[in-house]
Amino acid sequence: MTTVHEPITAAAELAVWPASTTEPRPGDLAVGGVPLAEAAERFGTPVYLLDEAEVRDRCRTYRDAFPDADIVYAAKAFLCRAMAHWTAEEGLGLDVCSAGELELAVTTGFPAERIVLHGNAKSPRDLDTALRLGVGRIVIDSPSEIARLAAAAGPDGHQKVMVRVVPGIGAGGHEKIRTGTDDQKFGLSIADGHAQHAIARILDQPQLELTGLHCHLGSQITSVKPYLVAVRRLVGLMARLHEQHGLVLPELDLGGGHGIAYRPGEPALDLTALARKVRAELADACTTAGLPVPRLIIEPGRAIAGPAGIAVYRVLSVKHTGEHVFVAVDGGMSDNPRPALYGVRYTPRLIGRHSTADRARVTVVGRHCEAGDILAADADLPADVRPGDLLAIPVAGAYHLSMASGYNLVGRPPVVAVRDGSARLLVRRESLEDIRSRDVGL
């Protein structure tokens, strides 16, 4: 076991935790006034805790930064009925990618007119559900969707649409989450003219009302510059559309992808700088092009849900293999596939007891039958970590449970909301009976 000589300070370590995090006793942490160890005992492990106040505060931060824009929460980061309810109450719209996400939101009471439907390959059910429920916008991602959507709407139908364009900008924290370049599956390229051709076809469909352009550059972007480049390129396209068709589009959707810090010291996107510079760039570009300034739409997902979530696991075994120490927990890639997919790193913390042991470098691994099932490589934990201990991982609210799988049939963990000292179950643990009930053949 390698001893760590310069551990992260306690204050720095908590910088990526929710603002409500406290340490009522050495070794114990509470979020939203709820001790994490008590929540683990009550709800079992693994368990995901979601700080309601943190979610709401982050919604308000976006509304304050962009007072003249529409803020649309990207549900793919994490969606449940409570999350839809919180974001609706905070005045946000909702970005969904399937009929499942759409129906859950609308049946929870989310206003359909504040919902945007995305997707590079929308199924007939997706489109039919969106039309039936009356979503506010459908983002067209491929030429084939134009005729399909017009036919589904019917001769007397009407649907507002946007076009997702590819501005040719590479940005994002990993090649698998960069979506603004011409070599990936999303959107229609400006460079090769496919975007312009699709827009011309939409204008020939009386059932479809084109309200604006949409782009999404990627995820985990920590620099403002790519967004400014995107503004210039999209306004340039708007100017050409005005010249060719007399078209003045009232909306411009810059997507999301705003980077957050997963570990102390990591960079995050400066939201205040983004808002100020994007507004200035948009106003300047539109003045130069002789166009009115369109209404901005911003689509944060991870930046709202991610820092509000905490994952709590129980240590099952500690194994010394050569110079390596593997700390295995009762979850893993079935509830958080991101380390296996993207190689992301976290900062787990021992909770529930105070340790005075030296710090050591260990690898926190999951329980699944994959060598790549690693939750935290080079983690800084007390050298006396042992089976039965609890480990908490912050910044666990986005793209964990939303991407969870049924691998090894261990069942997906529950989601628990914490606020003002109380904890309530939002999504129950997936049981063996749930798994058995879906298996109907023999």
DSSP state of 22: B
123 in Cβ contact with 143 (< 8 Å): no
The tokens describing 207, both together, are 């059932």
> Which of these, 251, 250, 252, 143, lies nearest to 204 by C-alpha position?
143
Q: Which amino acid is at 51?
A: D
Strand-pair category, 93-96 with 70-74: parallel
**Would you call 299 exposed, middle or buried from its count of C-beta atoms within 10 A (0-12, 13-18, 19+)?**
buried
User: How does DSSP classify residue 106?
Assistant: H
Tell me, what DSSP letter sits at residue 157?
A: -
Asked if 90 contacts 300 with a C-beta cutoff of 8 angstroms, the reply is: no
The backbone torsions φ and ψ at residue 397, rounded to the nearest 5 degrees and listed phi first, read -90, -10
d(CA 390, CA 311): 10
- Provide the residue ranges of all domains of the chain, joining segments of one domain with +: 2-51+307-438, 52-304
Q: Give 295's DSSP letter.
A: E
d(CA 23, CA 31): 9
Q: For residue 430, what is the DSSP state?
A: P
Give the C-alpha separation, 207 to 436, whole Å.
45
Does the active-site annotation cover 369? yes
Between strands 349-351 and 422-427, the pairing is: unpaired
Give the sign of the dihedral formed by CA 331, CA 335, CA 339, CA 344: negative
CATH H superfamily, domain 2-51+307-438: Lyase, Ornithine Decarboxylase; Chain A, domain 1 (2.40.37.10)
Continuous segment of H or E residues that includes residue 327: strand 324-329
Outline where 74-207 has alpha helix (H).
Answer: 81-89, 99-108, 124-133, 144-153, 194-203
Residue identified by tokens 């940005």 is: 171
Please tell me the distance from the alpha carbon of residue 302 to that of residue 315, in angstroms, as a whole number. 27
304 vs 95: CA distance, rounded Å: 13
Both tokens of 117, joined, read 């439907």
| Residues in CB range of 110: below 8 A, 6 or more apart | 84, 85, 87, 88, 94
Residues 20 and 54: beta-carbon distance below 8 Å:
yes
Distance CA 385, CA 260 (A): 29
CATH architecture assignment, domain 52-304:
Alpha-Beta Barrel (3.20)
* Phi, psi dihedrals of residue 408, rounded to the nearest 5°: 60, 10
Whether 116 contacts 72, CB under 8 Å: yes
Q: How many Å apart are CA 221 and CA 81, to the nearest integer? A: 28
155: amino acid identity, one letter: P
How high is the pLDDT of residue 183? 60
pLDDT of residue 182: 55
| Tokens 């340039």 -> residue | 236
Asked if 438 contacts 91 with a C-beta cutoff of 8 angstroms, the reply is no
For residue 10, what pLDDT is reported? 61
Q: What is the pLDDT along the chain (442 residues), one digit of tens a residue?
A: 444 444 555 667 899 999 999 999 999 999 999 999 999 999 999 999 999 999 999 999 999 999 999 999 999 999 999 999 999 999 999 999 999 999 999 999 999 999 999 998 899 999 999 999 999 999 999 999 999 999 999 999 999 999 999 987 765 544 544 444 456 567 898 888 889 999 999 999 999 999 999 999 988 999 999 999 999 999 999 999 999 999 999 999 999 999 999 999 999 999 999 999 999 999 999 999 999 999 999 999 999 999 999 999 999 999 998 889 999 999 999 999 999 888 888 999 999 999 999 999 999 999 999 989 999 998 999 999 999 999 999 999 999 999 999 999 999 999 999 999 999 999 999 999 999 999 999 8
CA distance 267 to 81: 31
